Structures are given as structure tokens and as C-alpha cells.
């Protein structure tokens, strides 16, 4: 629970605040990648390079990311699921856990290319 108090959180009331902050982040980190998520079997998350600056964008379980955020993304990725699975999506907290695990795995695996 202690790490909750160490992770920076931005709360923005309006989309234009988000866009301004993203612009500032891209200026500070030109190699920043915006990785959007989708349940529509796009590029598997493990194929995307996540070892550099990355901002993960997750939508809710029912609707996913809005069209606007999908357009902002540099790439849309999905979490691979079994073809025979009856689930079409994951709860956003479960999806976030899997995505963050992959970020950490790539950043700690010395065999992954930069």
C-alpha cells in the first residue's frame, strides 16, 4: 500500500488539460510512446517495445478507449487471450496489472533490445 503514495497521479477535469500535459511530456521525452489498449486483437502487448518512456492508455471494460484516445495512440495493443475463451475483455485493473507486468519484464530482461 505504501507505493500508492509514491506514484504520481494526475487528475484532470478537462481533455484540453490532458492534451497540454501530453504535449509537455512529448517535448520533455521526444521518444515517448502512447500505447492504447483494445480488445480487438491488435498487436500483442509483448511485441511492443516498452523499455523506454511509455504512457499506457486503458479504457473501461465495456467500451474501451474512446475514439479520440485511440487516434492519439502511437500504437494499439491487446492482451492475448485464448481463442476458446468466453471472455472478450478484462477488468481494467486486471488489464493494468498485466500491462505493467510486461513493462517491468521488458525493463529488467537484459535480452530485450532497447
Per-residue pLDDT tens digits for 58-73: 988 778 888 888 999 9
Residue 16: its pLDDT value, please?
85
Strand ranges of the sheet holding 75-78, from the earlier edge strand across to the other edge: 43-44, 75-78, 33-37, 54-57
Residue 33: its pLDDT value, please?
94
Q: Of all residues in the chain, what percent are helix, strand and coil, respectively (each to 5)?
A: 40, 15, 45
Domain architecture of the chain: domains with CATH: 30-114 (3.40.1280.10)
Assessment of whether the complete model's pTM goes beyond 0.85: no
The per-residue DSSP string of 83-112 comes to: TT-S-----HHHHHHHHHHHHHHHHH-TTS
Q: What residues of the chain score a pLDDT lower than 70? A: 1-2, 88, 110-114
Amino acid at each position: 500500500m505504501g507505493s500508492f503514495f509514491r506514484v504520481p497521479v494526475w487528475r484532470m477535469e478537462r481533455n484540453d488539460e490532458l492534451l497540454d500535459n501530453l504535449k509537455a511530456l512529448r517535448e520533455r521525452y521526444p521518444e515517448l510512446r502512447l500505447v492504447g489498449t483494445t480488445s480487438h486483437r491488435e498487436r500483442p502487448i509483448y511485441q511492443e517495445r516498452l523499455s523506454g518512456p511509455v504512457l499506457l492508455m486503458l479504457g473501461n471494460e465495456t467500451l474501451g478507449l474512446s475514439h479520440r484516445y485511440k487516434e492519439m495512440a502511437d500504437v494499439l495493443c491487446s492482451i492475448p487471450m485464448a481463442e476458446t475463451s468466453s471472455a472478450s475483455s478484462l477488468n481494467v485493473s486486471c488489464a493494468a496489472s498485466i500491462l505493467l507486468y510486461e513493462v517491468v519484464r521488458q525493463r529488467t530482461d537484459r535480452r530485450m533490445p532497447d
